[in-house]
Amino acid sequence: MRQALSIAWCVFLRMARDHRALALLLVMPLVLIGILGAALGRMFGPRPLDPFRVALVVEDQEAGGFSLGRVLAEEVLTAPEVREWLEPVPVADAEVARQEVKSGRAAAAIRVPADFTRAILAGGRSEVEVWTDPGRPLPGEIAAAVVRQFVDGVTAAPGPMPRVEIQPAGLRPVRALDYYAAAMAAMFLVMGGLARGADLVRERQEGTLARVLLTPAPRWAIPAGQILGTFAILLAQFAVLYLGTRWLYGVRWGPAAGVLLLGVAFSLAAAGLGVLAATLFRDPRAADGSVGLIGNLFAMLSGGMVPLYLFPDSLRAVSRLVPNYWALTGFLDLMEGMGVQAALRPALVLAGVGVACGALGAWRLQARPELFR
């Protein structure tokens, strides 16, 4: 184990001394976060080209064979002037509706309670809930306006007015700067891991790895040291981006324990990807070219460039195959104030990716001696 730690320390020092690479991996993301946050922040609120998807829960029970909730769902929300803006999608229950909004699959949700018709007909009090995404307030405002108009129209008898209550599906809004701080941190950590993989290919071509084999260190210590060293530099990179975005832009990352957990797990995933990538290339130029290509591809597929709610359902399903997606989802949940527990599932997925990729890369390095030549 001592040999692996020595190799890891050498890897860390070598990367830390590459000032050009550090500038690209630390300064560039901070600049991009500011540019994207300012330029693309309007996507976190204005009307898209297609109607907003609204999850609809109608619990309203009939009174005398009549249900106002059904009228709202089947007549009001399906009217052409409403469908121009809103696309109602029935879901099973209130919890499903909340999850639809939190995940970005729905822009808002409407819940009609079980006693709605009875309360209206009796001149009593009832409540229709509209849940919104704090980062996209416009859909909730439109849905609430439609529901208010309907409630006002059906309340002809004197008595207390039924209420339309607007609630956020999350706990606090995520600003564009917050969003892109998490997205760019994920993208540049992947690029950092791949850049280390390209360095490994270069070291192999220069004979550095072959010389390491002449030392008393066991062969398993070489990939282990490479992974540990890469992990350490990526974790340090994340710490700089975390502190830099908080200081420069006031990014609200959420609970520090959850952020640290995700940062550690994603650094491990990026380190594993980098070592695995090093075993797939023979030409350093091809490995260097893959850094930007794969890094940007992962960022685009995970919603790092354009928010996921603008993706079609098919592409949103593909995004789950990219580690950046799990990091971004976890960070956004923390930013909304959902608590440290929101980071557990994505952290486990990312740790699994890191262990699997690192183990496969280490196995290839040990099983194929020609990779050291």
Cα distances from 62 to residues 5, 148, 243, in angstroms, run 70, 21, 56
Q: The domain spanning residue 114 has which CATH number?
A: 3.40.1710
Q: Looking at the structure, do residues 284 and 188 belong to the same domain, yes or no?
A: yes
> What was the pLDDT predicted at 164?
44
Taking alpha carbons only, the member of 275, 274, 265, 236 closest to residue 326 is 265
Q: Looking at the structure, do residues 346 and 252 belong to the same domain, yes or no?
A: yes
The SS3 assignment for 255 reads coil
> What was the pLDDT predicted at 8?
52
Q: Looking at the structure, do residues 184 and 276 belong to the same domain, yes or no?
A: yes
Domain boundary at 126, 144, 168, which?
A: 168
Question: How many residues in total does the chain contain?
Answer: 373
> What was the pLDDT predicted at 159?
45
Q: Which residues contact 198 (CB under 8 A, 6 or more apart)?
A: 277, 278, 281, 284, 287, 288, 290, 291
Q: Looking at the structure, do residues 266 and 358 belong to the same domain, yes or no?
A: yes
Q: Looking at the structure, do residues 38 and 53 belong to the same domain, yes or no?
A: no
Domain boundary at 168, 188, 210, which?
A: 168
> What was the pLDDT predicted at 292?
79
pTM attached to this predicted model: 0.61
Structural domain boundaries enclosing 326: 2-42+174-372
How far is the first Cα of the chain from the last one, in angstroms, to the nearest whole number? 24
Q: Measure the CA–CA gap between 195 and 201, rounded to whole angstroms.
A: 10
Q: Looking at the structure, do residues 140 and 183 belong to the same domain, yes or no?
A: no
Q: Looking at the structure, do residues 256 and 321 belong to the same domain, yes or no?
A: yes
Query: Would you give per-residue pLDDT tens digits along the chain (373 residues)?
Result: 554 455 455 555 566 566 555 555 556 666 767 666 655 555 554 444 468 889 999 988 887 777 888 888 888 888 887 887 888 999 988 889 888 888 778 888 999 888 888 887 777 777 788 888 766 667 777 888 888 878 777 665 444 444 444 445 555 667 778 888 898 889 989 988 888 778 777 766 665 555 555 555 555 566 677 778 888 888 888 998 898 888 888 888 989 999 999 999 999 999 999 888 888 877 778 877 888 788 889 988 888 877 776 677 778 788 889 999 999 989 988 888 878 888 999 999 999 999 999 888 878 776 655 554 5
- How many domains does the chain fold into? 2
Q: Looking at the structure, do residues 101 and 240 belong to the same domain, yes or no?
A: no
Q: Looking at the structure, do residues 10 and 86 belong to the same domain, yes or no?
A: no
Q: Measure the CA–CA gap between 11 and 199, rounded to whole angstroms.
A: 10
Q: Looking at the structure, do residues 360 and 302 belong to the same domain, yes or no?
A: yes
Q: Looking at the structure, do residues 152 and 208 belong to the same domain, yes or no?
A: no
Task: Give ∠ CA 256-261-265 in degrees, rounded to 5.
Answer: 145
> What was the pLDDT predicted at 57?
92
Q: Looking at the structure, do residues 37 and 65 belong to the same domain, yes or no?
A: no
Domain boundary at 116, 151, 168, which?
A: 168
Taking alpha carbons only, the member of 285, 262, 280, 294 closest to residue 192 is 294
